[in-house]
Amino acid sequence: MGPSLRFASLVLAASATLVAQQGGEERTRLRPLPKQLPEVVLSDAKAAIPVRDFGLGEGGIDRKQTSLRFHESDGCVTPGGVHVACRAVGVKLTFPSGREVLLAPDGGLHLRSGESAGPYPAGLEFLLADGATVRIALAQSRKSRIRDVWVTHDRRSLQPWRLGSDAQATARTKNWSGIRLACCGDGGDIYRPLAIGPLVVLDRVLVPKERKDKTPRERLVVLTEPIRQSLLRMPRQHRETEASVRRAVAAVTEVADRSSMIFPRGAALRRAEHDRLRWLLGGGFELQLDPDISATPHLQLFAGTSALPMVEWTLGAGTAAYLTNPRSDQIGKRWHGNGTRVITTAHELQVREHLQERQHALRVIRRLKR
């Protein structure tokens, strides 16, 4: 048994004892950082990821939700009470919190307090914390720059502005090929979410001046559901009878069985080391992001301070999980067998090449490392 596998066995045994002593998994959950802003949070979203899972506030919406509807005089109101008002001079989102966000005809994004970002000449899609989206398409002509506005929730889509003028029409939900921004905090903490497989990278775009030091410039959200599923499926691909492989697969099976303790729902992860993107998980495990391995960053699971990871996830177009090769007679071979396919969640946030979003996400990760 290699040193990393021996250490993994010890960590798993110790974490099991700790759970028994403390009365269950609930008490082993990680706590958010009390003072520093967390760099990484965990989400167990199984399909689309809610804005609140970013760990950046409630998004300025009403907790008591209604239904998507047209406003009696102007635009639409989302289920969480966000009023989307449409004019030729811009589209304004007014949140129940009192925060106002305006997209101007030139694509400039503005807060009433004076802060601005952009421009976004083709328009934007806003992701709201109540699950609604607001899509604003801008025209390139000088007249009627605000071309179309769609407000969508679930499978229902309303169009309060069409071809440069007021409208009250229903519309079919279509794919959006432009830039997406998430409205966090009180609605005015605006981030650009970019997903590479199970990792969502958040880049801060706009924030009120008084909240600049209270919001992280960048944040990572790890989607734990596809990670758990890959750990559950991995043993089926490694049925070799060689002893070291059997032990490695057994360790992965134990991690999968205890994944709710190792990857606690909603946890904010603490840094394990200052000079590496490595964070503490539950049960003595650690998670590391290495953005410098070739052109494809790797997400790595370690048993404590072990030098070698147990499992690695390659973050690319075809994200896969790989078992670190445990065989001592295969020196130089990084992984054992083929990779295990990782299911894709947060489809709408996956990076798109025509917007060069992958390169953008990697720049944000490297900025976080520095």
Do residues 272 and 287 touch, judged by C-beta distance below 8 A?
A: no
Do 356 and 227 reside in the same domain of the chain?
Answer: yes
Could you tell me whether strands 123-127 and 180-184 are parallel, antiparallel, or unpaired per DSSP bridges? parallel
Q: Which pLDDT value is given to residue 287?
A: 96
Q: Is the pLDDT of residue 30 over 60?
A: no
Q: Which residue has the higher pLDDT, 26 or 141?
A: 141
Q: Which pLDDT value is given to residue 370?
A: 73
Examine residue 294 and state whether it is found in any structural domain, yes or no.
yes
Q: Is the pLDDT of residue 163 over 70?
A: yes
Work out how many domains the chain is built from and give that number.
2
Q: Is the pLDDT of residue 189 over 70?
A: yes
Q: Which pLDDT value is given to residue 23?
A: 43
Residue 185, phi-psi category: left (phi > 0), alpha (psi -120 to 50), beta (remainder): left
Examine residue 216 and state whether it is found in any structural domain, yes or no.
no
Last residue of a domain, one of 131, 160, 187: 187
Mean pLDDT confidence for 183-206? 97
Do residues 227 and 44 touch, judged by C-beta distance below 8 A?
A: no
Last residue of a domain, one of 187, 213, 248: 187
Percent share of the chain, pLDDT over 90: 66
Do residues 299 and 291 touch, judged by C-beta distance below 8 A?
A: no
Do 37 and 73 reside in the same domain of the chain?
Answer: no
Do 46 and 84 reside in the same domain of the chain?
Answer: no
Mean pLDDT confidence for 300-320? 89
Q: Which pLDDT value is given to residue 112?
A: 92
Q: Which pLDDT value is given to residue 236?
A: 87
The rounded mean pLDDT for the chain is 87
Confidence grade of residue 180 (pLDDT, cut at 50, 70, 90): very high
Q: Which pLDDT value is given to residue 25?
A: 40
Q: Which pLDDT value is given to residue 294?
A: 61
What gap in Å lies between CA 112 and CA 95, rounded to an integer?
12
Q: Which pLDDT value is given to residue 329?
A: 75
Do 249 and 151 reside in the same domain of the chain?
Answer: no
Examine residue 300 and state whether it is found in any structural domain, yes or no.
yes
Q: Is the pLDDT of residue 123 over 80?
A: yes
Mean pLDDT confidence for 216-238? 94
Instruction: Name the 3-class secondary structure at 354.
Output: helix
DSSP string, 232-250: HHHHHH-----HHHHHHHH
Confidence grade of residue 172 (pLDDT, cut at 50, 70, 90): confident
Q: Which pLDDT value is given to residue 8?
A: 52
Do 133 and 165 reside in the same domain of the chain?
Answer: yes
Do 27 and 116 reside in the same domain of the chain?
Answer: no
Least confident of 11-20, 104-113, 165-174, 294-303: 11-20
* Neighbour order of strands in the sheet with 69-70: 69-70, 76-77, 83-87, 90-94, 100-103, 109-111, 116-117
Q: Which pLDDT value is given to residue 174?
A: 82
DSSP string, 261-311: HHS-TTPEEPBS-SSS-EEE-GGGEEEEEETTSTTS-EEEEEETT-SS-SE
Q: Which residues span the domain enclosing 109?
A: 69-187
Q: What is the tens place of the pLDDT at every residue in 315-366?
A: 987 889 999 887 777 777 787 878 889 998 899 999 999 999 999 999 999 9
Do 257 and 329 reside in the same domain of the chain?
Answer: yes
Mean pLDDT confidence for 101-121? 96
Examine residue 22 and state whether it is found in any structural domain, yes or no.
yes
Least confident of 128-142, 217-231, 319-333: 319-333
Q: What is the tens place of the pLDDT at every residue in 242-268?
A: 888 889 889 999 999 999 999 999 999
Tell me the angle at which helices 243-257 and 3-22 cross, rounded to the nearest 10 degrees: 30
Q: Which residue has the higher pLDDT, 30 or 93?
A: 93
Q: Collect all residues with Cβ–Cβ distance below 8 Å to 92 and sequence separation of at least 6.
A: 84, 85, 100, 101, 102
Query: Which helix (H) or strand (E) segment is 155 a member of?
Result: none
Do 168 and 99 reside in the same domain of the chain?
Answer: yes
Last residue of a domain, one of 187, 205, 230: 187
Q: Which pLDDT value is given to residue 61?
A: 96
Mean pLDDT confidence for 82-96? 96
Do 164 and 240 reside in the same domain of the chain?
Answer: no
Q: Which pLDDT value is given to residue 291?
A: 80
Estimate to the nearest angstrom the gap between the alpha carbon of 54 and the chain centroid: 6
Do 245 and 357 reside in the same domain of the chain?
Answer: yes
Could you tell me whether strands 146-153 and 298-303 are parallel, antiparallel, or unpaired per DSSP bridges? unpaired
Examine residue 204 and state whether it is found in any structural domain, yes or no.
no
Mean pLDDT confidence for 169-196? 94
Do 27 and 157 reside in the same domain of the chain?
Answer: no
Do 263 and 353 reside in the same domain of the chain?
Answer: yes
Confidence grade of residue 130 (pLDDT, cut at 50, 70, 90): very high
What gap in Å lies between CA 342 and CA 106, rounded to an integer?
40
Confidence grade of residue 13 (pLDDT, cut at 50, 70, 90): very low
Structure tokens at 3: 């040193």
Q: Which residue has the higher pLDDT, 2 or 199?
A: 199
Confidence grade of residue 231 (pLDDT, cut at 50, 70, 90): very high
Examine residue 213 and state whether it is found in any structural domain, yes or no.
no
Examine residue 62 and state whether it is found in any structural domain, yes or no.
no
Examine residue 228 and state whether it is found in any structural domain, yes or no.
yes
The phi and psi torsions of 45 (rounded to 5 degrees) equal -55, 135
Q: Which pLDDT value is given to residue 238?
A: 83
Structure-token match 């590391």, residue found:
288
The phi and psi torsions of 76 (rounded to 5 degrees) equal -135, 165
Q: Which residue has the higher pLDDT, 361 or 294?
A: 361
Mean pLDDT confidence for 106-118? 95
